[in-house]
Amino acid sequence: MTTVNYLLKGLTLPDGSASDIEIRSGKISGLGKNLAKSEGATEIDLQGCVVLPGLVDLHTHLREPGREDAETVLSGTMAAAKGGYVAVSAMANTSPVADTAGVVEQVYALGQSAGFADVFPIGAVTEGLKGESLAEIGAMADSRARVRIFSDDGNCVFDPLVMRRALEYVKKFDGVIAQHAQDPRLTIGAQMNEGEISSRLGLKGWPAVAEEAIIARDVLIADHVKSRLHICHLTTSGGVEIIRWAKARGIDVTAEVTPHHLLLTDERALSYDPIFKVNPPLRTQRDVEALREGLADGTIDIVATDHAPHPAEAKECEWQEAAFGMLGLESALAIVNQVMVATGLMTWEAVADRMSYAPSRIGRYQDHGQKIAIGNIANLTVINPTQTLRVDRDLVASRSRNTPFHGMEFQGVVAATIYRGHPTFLNGKLSSLGER
């Protein structure tokens, strides 16, 4: 908790009204137009900016422990702060895998000492991500990391019996299973979306049905055992329809979409540049449009980045040799603004829901997703929606450079990120809250 007080001036709240915000001892202490500056407070002029409840990412790869050459908890949370995030959920596919209390507590502690964002470790569903036997879900839930989201992301929980047991077991801990939907038998050696482009390029296809069939199966299992299910990185129009159907039947399923799947299509693969290689793959324009519609109407509950850093040698090679994954934290909000808000598909209130309230609810993160109101913790994201963000891979805070957006321009620059009352990102500079 910070002891510095701040007065943020000239903001627009998600509902469109103008307001200043006063922050004292890490909490919102004043809200309203033309607030007076109290003694000792630092004034920050944010005229023309929109303020949102602090962004929460439910899908990040921080790579530590094991792949610190690509990213660490420190560099990853710095990238998060630059992107407006105050909380990130760290996926379990590290080395060693986060399938024990020990590893998740380590990651949690690293987040606290870095001081840029809350790091909520995600626990593996199965031991070693092998898909065979359940990991120590209870131990992880009861640990200091208080894990509530469990995922084998990177791998699919393919065996239907294992998935059923996981969905049942996790109910005891108020947990949710987050599925990476990919039938491994239909995607052996797959490189990109299966379709017209892959047929021309001679790259092995990753058919939409391999994702949709697992989603369909899992929503039915979740319904049968009355458990919570979350679908990671939805990418197809068929998937959106299945989720819509499931929700209409009252099934407790939530879904996420990444910024890159809201923007890019498989046509990018024509360059054979593996900067565009990602799992699940970029799909067609029709899918992009269905995802945008689904996010706008709430069928898709949240935006999650699937931030996946990789070192240069993993991308500077032939497509087949390259690793799957793209950076995402630093460009996410700008892309959502450009693609959804500036086009009128969503309001800022809806963005606040998809990027803060809903993710916090799904992850059970009490300190996050709080409305901007007096007395609440000051976790805030401030964006200037009219400034242009020019993505430059050499200027990212992440340790890796694999952003597919290098050279592209987006409307919307994060002006400030306030984490528990402390500006972790302001005027282009990063600053740690210090060890918590």
Partner 1 sequence: MKHLLSINDLSKVDAISILDTAQELARVSDGPMKKLPTLRGRTIVNLFAEDSTRTRISFEAAAKRLSADVINFSAKGSSISKGESLKDTAQTLQAMGADAVIIRHGASGAAQRLADSQWMSGSVINAGDGTHEHPSQALLDAFTIRKHLSKGASDLAGLRIAIVGDVLHSRVARSNVLLLSKLGAQVVLVAPPTLLPVGIESWPCEISYDLDAVINSVDAIMMLRIQMERMSELFFPNAREYSRYFGLNIDRMKALKPAAIVMHPGPMNRGLEITADAADGARSVIVEQVANGVSIRMAILYLLLAGSQEIGGRYDNS
Binding residue (CB under 8 A) for partner 1 from 197, 219, 240, 302: 197
Please tell me which residue in 20, 152, 287, 306 is annotated as part of the active site.
306
By CB under 8 A, is residue 139 in contact with partner 1?
A: no
Which letter, b or e, does each residue of 178-215 get, where b requires 16 or more Cβ atoms within 10 Å of its Cβ? bbbbbbeebbeebbbbbbebbeebebebbbbebbbbbb
Q: Which tokens sit at 406?
A: 């290098």
> How many residues at the interface with partner 1, by CB under 8 A?
22
Q: Shortest gap between Cβ of 239 and partner 1 (angstroms)?
A: 18
Identify the H or E element spanning 89. Answer: strand 85-90
Q: Which residues contact 405 (CB under 8 A, 6 or more apart)?
A: 331, 335, 391
Across the chain, which distance is largest between two alpha carbons, in Å?
Answer: 67
Is 314 one of the binding residues for partner 1 (CB under 8 A)? no
The distance of closest approach from Cβ of residue 283 to partner 1 in the complex, given in angstroms and rounded to an integer, is 13
Please identify which residue in 39, 40, 250, 318 interacts with partner 1, judged by CB under 8 A.
318
CB of 286 to partner 1, least distance (A): 14
| Helical packing angle, 208-225 and 160-169, nearest 10° | 40
What the block records as the tokens of 360 is 């916090």
Closest CA to 409 of 351, 341, 338, 360: 338
**Interacting positions 266-285 with partner 1 (CB under 8 A):** 271-273
Taking the C-alpha atoms of residue 413 and residue 421, their distance in angstroms, rounded to an integer, is 20
Q: Which neighbouring-strand residues pair with 42?
A: 6
DSSP 8-state symbol, 58: E
Rank residues 198 and 305 by Cβ distance to partner 1 and give the closer one: 198
Taking contact as CB under 8 A, which single stretch among the options 52-60, 146-154, 319-327, 426-434 is the one that binds partner 1?
319-327
Q: How far is the CB of 221 from partner 1 (least distance, A)?
A: 28
Whether residue 182 contacts residue 189, with contact meaning beta carbons closer than 8 Å, is answered with: no
Q: Contact between 175 and partner 1 (CB under 8 A)?
A: no
Q: Print the binding letters for residues 199-238 with partner 1: x by CB under 8 A, - otherwise.
A: xxxxx-x-x-------------------------------
Residues facing 417 on adjacent strands: 381, 425
Calpha distance 219→411 (Å, rounded): 36
Q: Which is nearer to partner 1, 133 or 320 (CB)?
A: 320
39 binds partner 1 (CB under 8 A): no
Of 164 and 283, which CB lies nearer to partner 1 in the complex structure? 283
CB of 208 to partner 1, least distance (A): 10
Q: Which amino acid does the sequence have at 368?
A: H
Compare residues 209 and 408 and give the one whose CB is closer to partner 1: 209
Cα Rg of the chain, angstroms: 21
> Residue 258 or residue 400: which is nearer to partner 1 going by CB?
400
Q: Which of 174, 196, 289, 392 binds partner 1 (CB under 8 A)?
A: 196
- State the Cα–Cα distance between residues 232 and 96, nearest whole angstrom: 22
Give yes or no: 306 in active site: yes
Q: Which residue among 68, 165, 183, 319 contacts partner 1 (CB under 8 A)?
A: 319
**Residue ranges binding partner 1 (CB under 8 A):** 194-203, 205, 207, 271-273, 313, 316-321
Active site positions, annotated? 306
